[in-house]
Amino acid sequence: MGNQRPGTGAASRAASARPATIDDVARLSGVSRATASRVVNESPRVSPEARIAVQSAVAQLGYEPNRAARTLMTRRSDSIGVVILENSTRLFGDPFFGHLLVGISSGLAASGLQLILLMVQDAGDTGRVERYLAAGHVDGAILVGPHGNDPLPARLARRQLPIVLSGRPLDATRVSYVDVDNRAGAITAIRHLAGQGRRRIATIHGTLDMPSARDRLEGYRDGLREAGLGVDPALEAAGDYSPVIAAQAMRTLLDRTPDLDGVFAASDSMAAAAVGVLLDSGRRVPEDVAVVGFDDSEVARNARPRLTTVRQPIEAMGREMARLILRRVEDPGDVPSEVLFQTELIVRESSVVP
């Protein structure tokens, strides 16, 4: 590059202490701050010459807009809060949340909005997180894993913060959410088990303060009725999506109804735990008891026997949540959207006798 005076030329700024400002860009390209700003923000009202001059100055200086200054002016933070409402025990033992995060992250990436992760582990966190979100530090929030009785969604909505939920809310509040057709998914599972000749089909459901858990339980019952098999409370046991509690539930079921020949669990982790208990009890899977899970996570492919399961497209659901929140941030007056994804039954070894 020709002769440069050290410490003053543009090239020498490579690792400069002070980052370039829009003033630097304006000066170097010979236009005003305003015009430089217009180019950076892709306003159409700029002459081609000015545009080119500014763009090359931007490149030369490695200019990056100062987000704080921009936020102060536009009153937009260019960031989205992602709130994980679940204690750590279940949190990442189950691959569900991780996949959802990956989807959200990739859906947000193209937009230039940042992802601010907020984990609510205990009651103390709730206040902190709510204050932060309500203070206008984010343009919108994605709430992952809210239980039906969680007041946070309504509280934030009342404060006019755009939000999107993972999972249908329990009350009929009008908020955007993304969910899978839990009821239909459960029905396909039961239909499959009944089709394999199973007659005493039990279920390990999730905590019933979560709508997804309720819907899967309802689907289970509907499936039984559809197959002409009666509903029997003794065949239903509560889990909480953790393997430990699921194992307990399985033992309870075996005590109550030793003749059961099928199990539908509301997650793969719980199904895997159930299989463990069944094997421990001397039963063979699938010969004596057929098992179906939910999610189609790594757990299902990893287990032996491999788990038949109801697949939900978790990453796609995360991307959709990102899309929805971006839309609501653009246009807060937009009506809330409810997006339902379809499930797919993946048949593996745990439910089919070879």
Which residues are near DNA by CB under 7 A? 18, 21-23, 31-35, 37-38, 40-41, 44-47, 49-50, 63, 65-66, 69-70, 72-74
Query: Minimal CA–CA distance to 291: which of 311, 268, 271?
Result: 271
User: Is residue 26 part of the contact set for its own copies (CB under 8 A)?
Assistant: no
| Smallest gap from residue 31 Cβ to DNA (A) | 4
Residue owning tokens 């497209």? 313
CB of 75 to its own copies, least distance (A): 9
Q: What is the β-pairing status of strands 344-346 and 308-311?
A: antiparallel
Q: What is residue 107's three-state secondary structure?
A: helix
User: Quick one: which segment of 47-55, 70-78, 181-189, 324-332 binds its own copies (CB under 8 A)?
Assistant: 70-78
Which CB sits closer to its own copies, 230 or 333?
333
Q: Which of 34, 59, 69, 208 binds its own copies (CB under 8 A)?
A: 69
Distance CA 236, CA 221 (A): 10
Q: At 175, is the secondary structure helix, strand, or coil?
A: coil
Pick between residue 33 and residue 225 the one whose CB is nearest to DNA: 33
Nearer to its own copies, 141 or 224 (CB): 141
Residue 352 contacts residue 290 (beta carbons within 8 Å): yes
**Smaller CB distance to its own copies: residue 68 or 233?**
68
Of 217 and 300, which CB lies nearer to its own copies in the complex structure? 300
User: Whose Cβ is closer to its own copies: residue 33's or residue 159's?
Assistant: 159
Q: For residue 61, how many C-alpha atoms fall within 13 Å in the half-sphere facing its CB?
A: 23
Q: Kindly state whether residue 93 participates in binding its own copies, applying the rule CB under 8 A.
A: yes
Q: Which residue, 296, 285, 258, is CA-closest to 353?
A: 285
Rounded-to-integer distance, Cα 90 and Cα 77, Å? 31
**1 is an interface residue for its own copies by CB under 8 A:** no
Show the tokens assigned to 107.
């859906």
33 binds, among DNA, its own copies, none (CB under 5 to 8 A by kind): DNA
Smallest separation (angstroms) from its own copies to the CB of 8: 21
Within 13 Å of residue 178, how many CA atoms lie on the same side as its CB? Answer: 24
Sign of the dihedral defined by the CA atoms of residues 136, 140, 144, 150, in that order: positive
Number of residues that bind its own copies (CB under 8 A): 57
Residues in 251-280 that interact with its own copies by CB under 8 A? 269, 272-273, 275-276, 279-280
Residues 73-96 as b/e (b if ≥16 CB within 10 A, e otherwise) read eeeebbbbbbbbbbeeebeeebbb
Sole residue written with tokens 């991307």: 319
Residues engaged in binding its own copies (CB under 8 A): 15, 19, 64, 66-69, 71-72, 77, 79, 82, 88, 91-93, 95, 97-99, 101-102, 105-106, 109, 114-119, 121, 125, 128, 131-132, 135-137, 158-159, 243, 269, 272-273, 275-276, 279-280, 297-299, 301-304, 315
